[in-house]
Chain A
């Protein structure tokens, strides 16, 4: 189901344009990853949520019954909270992983390029990225290992420090060793040698990783030079014994070596670990490390939630300040209209004045209006974020006789912060 509802990145601009055509959608953004599809939209009213569901159905040509039960919908504060939680990595399968932040950024860029982001979504998405960054710098949620490959990189860094100029040797060209090697390569390792019983597969993997292939018999020699060895052959017995390793260590002049045994059954005799400067980790050790990292990250969840809450409050305060914008405009227009009306009526009677004088009077009138209005306007903006502000705003409305209907008309299109996140997991 998840796959059926995904929006490939290339199709996003088109999808966004279609969604905007719906009429009641003023701003929208689609976040589509391998794990989630979320539609964020600013609607003119909450009743129009259905529009988004219809859009998903028609875009993917799928019947409502098939996917609606898998949907979840948030609006207002909850929607903001959801996006920030996602960006912080709290909603990811791998708690705290960083990829999601990049995906939010991409979604934001695509929506921006397709001109689907207005003031509200722009601020929302920008702030969600801030939340993601804060979570990762202020807490340990992004720390530690996220996969076997990550765990291997972490350990390698604890042994060698920087991984540039380190050499890896892969024994057994399997999927797992390939993934692990890729992680190491992404962290600065430059040289790869692949050794496999079937030379052709070694060649294939070596080409993929930009390395060199050797025959299986040559591997003990290659170990003299390697810093990290990833072993995952299908051999039923140990391919590396303590005795062999001792010889290798002598030829290495005792230089440290990191052995990763991800084969089941084991490739490397466990006693090899007793040798000095040999650091042997098998798949179970790496799993333990992974679980431990996970546990440590779990302890950070609360701190991240605190950051999310703080940022949600900030954002909601901002949208509230946005709500008084139409009221302020209406007030401004009303006062300006009064000024204009009075001036038009008086201007006729002042025909004896020179152009310069009439201009001076007009400037004076304008600045009089500006000065009178300055403080009430500032105050109105403050009321917007004030918990008891609503009543005060009503007083202002009454005081100046501002029509409620007019305001609603003005608000609807521009600022009603109705967002919804439709997700498929």
Chain B
């Protein structure tokens, strides 16, 4: 049952990704609606699976693959909220593929034996939740930034063709990305602090310096974005390019992670 729900949510999110992507290139207005239906279905499957799993094991993410599954769920939840609040259908064309990638990673971890249980320490649990939420926020900020840059380019070059009417308004995605980054940075700070405290209290092996460096770098990139955008007059294009770099750092940091 639990693995069926995994497959079903994967199929649903994959369908939503395809529908949202095709929607950008066609005039058919039903596709976006169908995409949202697929998204809602996938989200329901995932939620049910999370509940069943928490009920069975007493934990939302007993190991790395489940943490990835939880990340995918968080991105879907966050995007769903954005969709309902701002009707930003276009952003789904990137947000949904992100959930698919997270699910693929979850699958890969589960087959690669990354299923060593994560230390059941409440500091480390808090660390994982905070980090996953911040990753979801940064991931969606990345989606917004990409759309900002594409739309900015189209508006500047005055190529008023194709998808330009389907893309979200510049100011909206720009401010949304900013709000997401602020939220994400707060969560990342919490995640780093709880992580350090957790390692100390669980008396695990010392953290590798490289890992601290990459986490610190990620933190710095997003902090730089906030400062550059508000103080240094880097609003718009330059600030949004930083967000693309930020996600690259997040990906590297995650790749180095040993999960406990």
B-chain residues with CB within 8 Å of residue A155 when the two chains form the complex: 155
* Shortest Cβ distance from residue A150 to the other chain B in the assembled complex, whole angstroms: 13
Determine, out of B2-10, B138-146, B167-175, the stretch whose residues face the partner at the interface.
B167-175
Quick one: given A158-B167, A161-B172, are A279 and B236 in contact (CB under 8 Å)? no
Q: How far is the CA of A213 from the CA of B169 in the complex (A)?
A: 30
Q: How far is the CA of A157 from the CA of B87 in the complex (A)?
A: 14
Determine, out of B43-51, B128-136, B158-166, the stretch whose residues face the partner at the interface.
B158-166
Q: Among A161, A276, A292, which residue has its beta carbon within 8 angstroms of that of B236?
A: A276
Say whether A276 contacts B167, CB under 8 Å: no
Q: How far is the CA of A279 from the CA of B161 in the complex (A)?
A: 17
Residue of A140, A157, A158, A289 most packed against chain B (CB within 10 A): A158
Which residues of B145-204 are within 8 A (CB) of A?
151, 155-156, 158, 160-161, 164-165, 167-172
Say whether A254 contacts B234, CB under 8 Å: yes
Which residues of A249-269 are within 8 A (CB) of B?
249-250, 253-256
Size of the B side of the interface (Cβ < 8 Å), in residues, is: 21
B235 proximal to A (CB < 8 A): yes
Q: How far is the CA of A154 from the CA of B167 in the complex (A)?
A: 12
Quick one: given A140-B27, A160-B170, are A292 and B160 in contact (CB under 8 Å)? yes
B-chain residues with CB within 8 Å of residue A158 when the two chains form the complex: 151, 155, 164-165, 167, 169-170
B-chain residues with CB within 8 Å of residue A279 when the two chains form the complex: 155-156
A-chain residues with CB within 8 Å of residue B161 when the two chains form the complex: 292
Say whether B156 contacts A157, CB under 8 Å: no
Say whether A159 contacts B169, CB under 8 Å: yes
A-chain residues with CB within 8 Å of residue B211 when the two chains form the complex: none
Residue of B156, B164, B171, B237 most packed against chain A (CB within 10 A): B171
Q: How far is the CA of A279 from the CA of B164 in the complex (A)?
A: 15
Q: Among A140, A160, A161, A276, which residue has its beta carbon within 8 angstroms of that of B237?
A: A276
Q: How far is the CA of A143 from the CA of B160 in the complex (A)?
A: 14
Q: Which residue in chain B gives the minimum CB-CB distance to A296?
A: B27
Q: How far is the CA of A144 from the CA of B171 in the complex (A)?
A: 20
A48 proximal to B (CB < 8 A): no
B108 proximal to A (CB < 8 A): no
A318 proximal to B (CB < 8 A): no
* Shortest Cβ distance from residue A337 to the other chain B in the assembled complex, whole angstroms: 57
B-chain residues with CB within 8 Å of residue A241 when the two chains form the complex: none
Instruction: Map CB proximity to A onto B76-102 as digits: 1 under 8 Å, 0 otherwise.
Output: 000000000000000000000000000
Q: How far is the CA of A255 from the CA of B235 in the complex (A)?
A: 7
* Shortest Cβ distance from residue B141 to the other chain A in the assembled complex, whole angstroms: 17
B238 proximal to A (CB < 8 A): yes
Q: How far is the CA of A292 from the CA of B169 in the complex (A)?
A: 20
A-chain residues with CB within 8 Å of residue B165 when the two chains form the complex: 143-144, 154, 158
Say whether B158 contacts A160, CB under 8 Å: no
Say whether A253 contacts B167, CB under 8 Å: no
Quick one: given A273-B156, A292-B160, A292-B161, are A157 and B169 in contact (CB under 8 Å)? yes
A55 proximal to B (CB < 8 A): no
A288 proximal to B (CB < 8 A): yes
Say whether B169 contacts A254, CB under 8 Å: no
Say whether A288 contacts B160, CB under 8 Å: yes
Quick one: given A158-B165, A288-B160, are A253 and B171 in contact (CB under 8 Å)? no
Say whether B158 contacts A281, CB under 8 Å: yes
B113 proximal to A (CB < 8 A): no
B255 proximal to A (CB < 8 A): no
Q: Among B155, B235, B237, which residue has its beta carbon within 8 angstroms of that of A159?
A: B155
Q: How far is the CA of A143 from the CA of B164 in the complex (A)?
A: 13
Say whether B171 contacts A289, CB under 8 Å: no
Which residues of A392-421 are within 8 A (CB) of B?
none
A91 proximal to B (CB < 8 A): no
Residue of A143, A161, A281 most packed against chain B (CB within 10 A): A161
A119 proximal to B (CB < 8 A): no
B233 proximal to A (CB < 8 A): yes
A-chain residues with CB within 8 Å of residue B167 when the two chains form the complex: 158
A225 proximal to B (CB < 8 A): no
Q: How far is the CA of A144 from the CA of B164 in the complex (A)?
A: 12
Quick one: given A255-B235, A276-B238, are A285 and B158 in contact (CB under 8 Å)? yes
B-chain residues with CB within 8 Å of residue A45 when the two chains form the complex: none
Say whether B155 contacts A160, CB under 8 Å: no
A164 proximal to B (CB < 8 A): no
B-chain residues with CB within 8 Å of residue A292 when the two chains form the complex: 160-161
Instruction: Map CB proximity to A onto B5-41 as digits: 1 under 8 Å, 0 otherwise.
Output: 0000000000000000000000100000000000000
Q: How far is the CA of A155 from the CA of B151 in the complex (A)?
A: 11
Say whether A277 contacts B235, CB under 8 Å: yes
A-chain residues with CB within 8 Å of residue B151 when the two chains form the complex: 158
* Shortest Cβ distance from residue B177 to the other chain A in the assembled complex, whole angstroms: 13
Say whether A161 contacts B235, CB under 8 Å: no
Which residues of A205-254 are within 8 A (CB) of B?
249-250, 253-254
Q: How far is the CA of A285 from the CA of B161 in the complex (A)?
A: 13
New A-B contacts (15) at CB < 8 Å, excluding given A159-B169, A254-B235: A140-B27, A143-B165, A144-B165, A158-B151, A158-B155, A158-B164, A158-B165, A161-B168, A254-B236, A256-B171, A273-B156, A277-B237, A279-B155, A288-B160, A292-B160
30 interchain pairs, CB-CB under 8 A = A140-B27, A157-B169, A158-B155, A158-B164, A158-B165, A158-B167, A158-B169, A158-B170, A159-B155, A160-B170, A161-B168, A161-B169, A250-B233, A253-B233, A254-B233, A254-B234, A254-B236, A256-B171, A276-B237, A276-B238, A277-B235, A277-B236, A277-B237, A279-B155, A279-B156, A285-B158, A288-B160, A289-B160, A292-B160, A292-B161
